Amino acid sequence: MAKTDLPILIAGGGIGGFAAALALTQKGFPVQVIERAADFHELGAGIQLGPNVFRMFELLGVGNEMSHWAVFPDNLIMRDALDGTEITRIPTGEPLHRRFGYPYAVIHRADLHKVLIDAVKRSPLAKLTTSCKVVSFEDRGDRVVVKTEAGETFDGAALIGADGLWSAVRSQLVGDGKPRVSGHIAYRGVIPLAQVPDHLRENNVVLWAGPKTHLVHYPLHRGEVYNLVVVFHSSRYEEGWDTYGDPSELRERFAAQHPKVREFLAMANEWKMWVLCDREPISHWSVGRVTLLGDAAHPMLQYLAQGGCMAIEDAVVLARSLAQAKGDYNGAFLAYQQQRYLRTTRVQLTARMYGDIYHATDAVRDLRRQMLAGRTPEQAYNGMAWLYDGI
Which of 102, 104, 187, 218 is the catalytic position? 218
* Binding map of ligand FAD across residues 303-342, x = CB under 6 A, - = no contact: --xxxxx-x-------------------------------
CA–CA distance, 293 with 17 (Å, rounded to integer): 8
**Can you spell out the DSSP letters for 46-67?**
EEEE-HHHHHHHHHHT-HHHHH
13 binding ligand FAD? (CB under 6 A): yes
CB 152 within 8 A of CB 134: no
Q: Which of 114, 127, 133, 143 binds ligand FAD (CB under 6 A)?
A: 133
Instruction: Give, as ranges, the residues between 161 and 220 that touch ligand FAD (CB under 6 A).
Output: 162-165, 168, 186
Q: What's the min distance (Å) between Cβ of 326 and ligand FAD?
A: 27
Rounded CA-CA distance 46/219 in Å is: 9
Nearest approach in angstroms of CB 55 to ligand FAD is: 14
d(CA 134, CA 158): 14
CA-wise closest residue to 288 among 390, 137, 148: 137
List 8, 9, 10, 16, residue binding ligand FAD (CB under 6 A): 16
Establish if 390 lies at the interface with ligand FAD (CB under 6 A): no
Smallest separation (angstroms) from ligand FAD to the CB of 45: 7
Q: Is 226 tagged catalytic?
A: no
Is residue 17 part of the contact set for ligand FAD (CB under 6 A)? yes
Q: What is the DSSP letter of 137?
A: E
Q: Which are the contacts of 48, defined by CB distance < 8 A and separation ≥ 6? A: 104, 105, 106, 205, 218, 305
> CA angle, corner 45, sides to 42 and 47, nearest 5?
95
Q: Does 14 bind ligand FAD (CB under 6 A)?
A: yes
SS3 content of the chain, % helix, strand, coil (to 5): 40, 25, 35
Contact pattern for ligand FAD over residues 253 through 292, marking x by CB under 6 A: ---------------------x------------------
Nearest Cα residue to 169 out of 147, 185, 184, 202: 147
| Shortest Cβ 11–ligand FAD spacing (Å) | 5
Residue 186 CB: number of other CB atoms within 10 A? 21
Choose the stretch contacting ligand FAD; rule: CB under 6 A; options: 30-38, 77-85, 341-349, 354-362. 30-38
What are the residues binding ligand FAD (CB under 6 A)?
A: 11-17, 34-37, 47-48, 133-134, 162-165, 168, 186, 229, 274, 294-296, 302, 305-309, 311
Q: Which residues are marked as active site?
A: 218
